Structure 1
Amino acid sequence: MPEEKPFYRRIRSFVRREGRLTKGQQRALEELWPRFGVDFTPQLLDLDDLFGRQAPRILEIGFGNGGALAQLAQQHPENDYFGIEVHRPGVGNLLLHVEQDQLSNVRVSQHDAVEVLEQQIPDNSLDALYLLFPDPWHKKKHHKRRIVQSAFVEMVRARLKSGGVFHMATDWEDYAEHMQEVMREFPGFDNTAGEGKFSPRPDYRPQTKFEQRGQKLGHGVWDLIYRKKG
């Protein structure tokens, strides 16, 4: 009999906090999910079939309440946006924006982003991946829970097209430095701001209410934008 390998449970980078759904969010989940929602199955998606066209594809991990992602989709109808968020109220809120703004270029997943990226997103299929304000897990003993780790970045690199953009942002300077440290391990990416530097907020990234509130309190924000080499 072959020796059984021990099972290791992957450390998750999020805690599922369900929160209370509004009536509107609940309705949106019930009525709009069949059209715009993407159920998790461990098989690759055909993104052209999913969106019904060929277009630049941008995936955002952890879109929060969905307002910024909806704004991007409205301002850039030439792009397709695939948003992943584990919290149902945020998913329901994004679907309300999709309905209100009559957006056809948004699809939504409510599942663990690492599993979606690993099992559903094909290699060389994304023009950009946004990871904006992920949970910083600021206590040192929790740093292992941060989503930005070597294995995750390698997965991102594989899913991006040549020249594709990996854009991270955080309001925790310690996490920003951690992100830079992890990215230094990957010569397949260029820091668009220059080695060891942070990028100014690009025009395409809307400021969230959370970010605006933090800046009023004197909190900094660090954007890191890397481009996959050909």
Structure 2
Amino acid sequence: MALPQKKYYRQRAHSNPIADHCFEYPSHPDQYDWSNLYPILETDEAKEKKVEFLDVGCGYGGLLVTLSPMFPENLMLGLEIRVKVSDYVNDRIQALRSQHKDKYQNIAVLRTNAMKYLPNFFHKGQLQKLFFLYPDPHFKKAKHKWRIINKWLLAEYAYVLAEQGIVYTITDVKDLHEWMVTHFEEHPLFKRMTDEELKYDKIVDKLFDSTEEGQKVTRNNGDKFLAVFKRVPDEFMENNK
């Protein structure tokens, strides 16, 4: 099975996340059949596994493909709102699985709107890694509410992320970088990780050029702004146990 060609899957780069799209979603995470995305879940050895790495706005799936062999025991999922792009990622994964026996079984893509339906798919504290790589900057002030990082959505990200879980962000837009850093630092359940801490994280180096957008920024000699945050315990809950 040949790898798909992007030229057959092109569509507009921007999508209105506030608009009503036709999505199917469960009313509770337990109601979703993940074996449709990960056939390995039908085996006795893997049937209890759950998605732990989530790439929000995964684009053409570069990060998933890069991390899959690095973390073969972890299920990874890409979320993508655009129809043709999510179709491309799915076809790419199917082709890789057919070309490499027993590999790339731990990655999948789901077309949905992360701004609306995350709690429908994921339990509290389920995720270990959360990625926001080169998100749409929505430059106009009137569209800042469309940004994937905002003070309302951070509560949902904190809900689905396990304590000590990590959020990775990177962008080539300085204004958006500062926006994301400000919102994360103002939230009581996130703490920015230091450069010293990140030295030991083998994922960090892969964030710069694993995606198509990152490769485009490199070709254009653009800047890249990285910020990584850790999900910290809720002190209020700890003090009231």
**TM-score of the aligned structures, taking structure 2 as reference length:** 0.71
Unaligned runs of 5+ in 1: 1-12, 17-37
Measure how far apart 1:228 and its partner are: 0.9
User: In the alignment, is residue 87 of structure 1 matched against residue 82 of structure 2?
Assistant: yes
More off after superposition, 113-122 vs 151-160: 113-122
Measure how far apart 1:217 and its partner are: 2.3
Q: 1:1-230 residue pairs with structure 2 within 5 A? A: 14-15=15-16, 39-45=24-30, 50=35, 51=38, 52=41, 53=46, 54=49, 57-102=52-97, 103-193=104-194, 202-205=204-207, 207=209, 208-230=211-233
Unaligned runs of 5+ in 2: 1-13, 18-22, 98-103, 196-200, 234-241
Deviations 1:70-91 (A, max 9, x none): 2222332121111110112221
Distance verdict in 2 for CA 1:48–1:95, change over 3 Å: closer
Contact 2:161–2:231 at 8 Å: present in 1 too?
A: yes
Deviations 1:35-80 (A, max 9, x none): xxx9522222478964523367101111111233222223321211
Distance verdict in 2 for CA 1:201–1:151, change over 3 Å: same
Aligned equivalents of 1:47 and 1:75: distance in 2?
A: 27
* Counterpart code for 2:146: R
Contact 1:72–1:206 at 8 Å: present in 2 too?
A: no
Aligned equivalents of 1:143 and 1:176: distance in 2?
A: 13
Q: CA RMSD in A?
A: 2.7
Contact 1:67–1:97 at 8 Å: present in 2 too?
A: no
Aligned equivalents of 2:157 and 2:66: distance in 1?
A: 24
Distance verdict in 2 for CA 1:115–1:144, change over 3 Å: closer
Contact 1:74–1:101 at 8 Å: present in 2 too?
A: no
